[in-house]
Amino acid sequence: MTPEFARARRIASKAAHTAVLIFFVTFLAFPFYWMVITAFKTNQDLYDTQNNPYLFNSPPTLRHLSVLFEDTQYLQWLLNTGFVGVVVVIITLLLAVPAGYALARMTGAWAQTLGVAIFLTYLVPPTILFIPFSRIIATLGLQDSVWSLILVYPSFTVPFCTWLLMGFFKAIPRDLEDAAMIDGLSRFGAFIKVVMPISVAGMLTAVIFAFTLVTQEFVYGVTFITASSSYTVSVGVPTFLVRGDVYFWGSMMAACLIASVPIAIIYNFFVTRFVAGFTMGAIK
Amino acid sequence: MTSAITGTAGKIRGKDRLLSRFADNDRWLWRAMLAPAILYIGLLVGFPFLLSLYYSMSSVTVASQDVHFVGLENFRRIVESGTFWLSLQNTIVITVVSQFFVLVFANILATALVVDFRGRWLVRLLILLPWVAPISLGSIGWLWIFDSIYSVINWTARAVGLLGPNEWPIWLGQPTLARASIIIVNVWRILPLATVIVLAGLSSIPQDIHDAAEVDGAGFWRHHFQITTPLILPITLVALLFGIIFTFTDLIVVFVLTRGGPYDTTQVIASWAYFTGIQGGDLAGGAAISLFLFPVLAGVAILFLWLARHTEVT
């Protein structure tokens, strides 16, 4: 292989690498880029088919944002989402942290089976359960209340977070607890005083994951809630802002952006841990 | 030195004593720690599921007071409906086609991401966006991209000469294009997850194996298909199973993009169950329709169990 050939080959492989990345980044991120462009364009610019849609043909505007926050219940939806998210995260931690720890420390074959069984309930989709739930929620008198969501959402956050936390607790050496127990703590005391403080990162992962699942949920929200003041963001934007034939595209795109980008940035810090959960320990 | 050894021995003896003393207590502790989670999941997954089985064989509607058992009548009604077969076909086609592209793309993209380069963090963030953003909101973004008049795809195609001045493809208004649009959005949505899973598989291959292949003179393609691909097969299967579940049971993409239209041609099982059961008020019919999702769910669950048994679960 001559040096020129080797160099040409290196350049070609670098070019192919860059081309692949550009293609996929364009495909995957384009809708978000498009949300940014649309959210800050004036209506006359948006709705003129002669204009180049990629450019600002007239100066950018904040009008869509003010419409979104002043003329719609968007702020209320953000608050609802935050409230539901926080309460669901608390319930999830209360249930999943002890369960994950127990599964991590139990011995015997059926402990593992139980762990996998809990994980599998995460796969049961809302689209199988939403119809009976609609009547259960009506019977409980929770229709149109965010409490219906708070009741039901842990049914999918708990299984996955239990699984995540189980993996996390398994990585903590037993010796630490044994030493603490020799020093006079009970098993439960060792869990609270020794294991919990060094598991903050694992619990934070569960928090982020549970919160993300809550912001994404749509099927239960659209089934249980018809009063626009109780919507979460993921339900309110597609159902309420699309009602009728009038689409407020600028405001809708702003609404989508505000609700999705901040959480994506936080999620990105934890992605390796989520992947470890998703792969069920198929790799190490 | 000596004191250290006796110290260790003492610790071990102490440990044994403690273990036997706490063995029984521990069993009850584990039960107490697991019970709340299992009860919650049982009540909120198990109970509604059983209720759904019962509803599917009853005459329940949103308003009905007295509910009676009708056997398989609902299923007979569903199977005789043309919309059912169309929905089933759409669900299968959308799942199979989108997951095919997801697998191919995820392998290409993960291979590109496994090497280190400047700006990898930003690229990963941009690539993950569709997975982390709420699907309903991402689909709204696509709804605007596929708009009948202001579609940026049509504008761009016209600008580069792919579309003539009198060609106006209406993405969500023509059955074939609408199905293609739904597939595109599903690929877009699942690809990030599949990519990071395959990427984790690629990163876990020890460097020695790559070095050995290099020394033995394997070229890029041979290396890729004969060494890397078999090694990441189990993890690729995991990605595929998640993709199948999330696509097959999805309601949101169809709900936002087409609402099953035009004329039910893009209806899928989940969306048809929603329009029948919730919007139409026929809870029994809706429950019966959504149960058709169950066989695939069960199949995927069995494959997961099989995988868990054949790979070391840590």
Tell me: the pLDDT tens digits for B298-307? 898 888 888 7
pLDDT digits (tens, 9 = 90+) for B150-199: 888 888 888 888 887 777 788 888 889 999 999 999 999 999 999 999 99
Higher-scoring residue by pLDDT: B258, B11: B258
Interatomic CA distance for residues B96 and B183, integer angstroms: 9
Contact at CB, B132 and A212, closer than 8 angstroms? yes
Task: Give this complex's ipTM.
Answer: 0.89
Domain residue ranges in chain A: 3-61, 72-278
Q: What is the pLDDT of residues B199-220, one digit of tens each?
A: 988 888 888 888 888 888 888 8
**Residues near A2 by beta carbon (within 8 Å), at least 6 away in sequence:** none
Q: How confident is the model at residue B313 (pLDDT cuts 50, 70, 90)?
A: very low
The percent of residues in chain B predicted with pLDDT above 70, rounded, is 90
Instruction: Note the pLDDT of residue A68.
Output: 87
pLDDT in tens, A184-228: 888 888 888 888 888 888 899 899 999 999 999 999 999 999 888
- Chain B residue with minimum CA distance to A135: B62
Q: State how far the Cα of B57 lies from the Cα of B61, in Å rounded to an integer.
A: 12
Question: In this complex, do A275 and B133 lie within 8 Å of one another by their Cβ atoms?
Answer: no
Interchain pair B313, A105: CB under 8 A: no
Structure tokens belonging to residue A3: 């040096």
- Residue B281 φ/ψ region, left for φ over 0, alpha for ψ in the -120 to 50 degree band, beta for the rest: left
Q: Is the pLDDT assigned to residue B228 strictly greater than 70?
A: yes
Topology classification of domain B73-310: MetI-like fold (1.10.3720)
> Which pLDDT does position B179 carry in this prediction?
93
Q: What is the mean pLDDT of residues A232-244?
A: 82
Q: Residue A83: pLDDT band by 50, 70, 90 thresholds?
A: very high
Indicate the average pLDDT of chain B. Answer: 85
Select from A34, A68, A128, A260 the residue whose CB has the most chain B CBs within 10 Å, as the one to mutate to test that interface: A128
Assign B7 a pLDDT band (cuts: 50, 70, 90): very low
Closest residue in B to A96 (Cα–Cα): B37
Find the closest chain B residue to A17 by CA distance.
B112
In this prediction, residues B89-95 reach a mean pLDDT of: 95
Asked if B40's CB is within 8 angstroms of A29's CB, the reply is no
Chain segment B231-275, per-residue pLDDT in tens: 888 888 889 999 999 999 999 999 999 888 788 889 999 999 999
Q: Please give the CATH number for the structural domain made up of A72-278.
A: 1.10.3720.10
Tokens at A46, concatenated: 């948006």
Average pLDDT on A123-129 reads 90
- Domains in chain B: boundaries: 1-56, 73-310
A55-63 average pLDDT score = 86
Position B17 pLDDT exceeds 80? no
Q: Environment class of residue B119 by beta-carbon count within 10 Å: exposed (0-12), middle (13-18) or buried (19+)?
A: exposed
**Which residue type sits at A275?**
V
- CA nearest to A88, candidates A148, A163, A143: A148
Cβ-defined contact of B34 to A252 (cutoff 8 Å): no
DSSP for A95-145, please give it. HHHHHHHHHHH--SHHHHHHHHHHHHHTTS-HHHHHHHHHHHHHHHT-TTS
Average pLDDT, chain A: 88
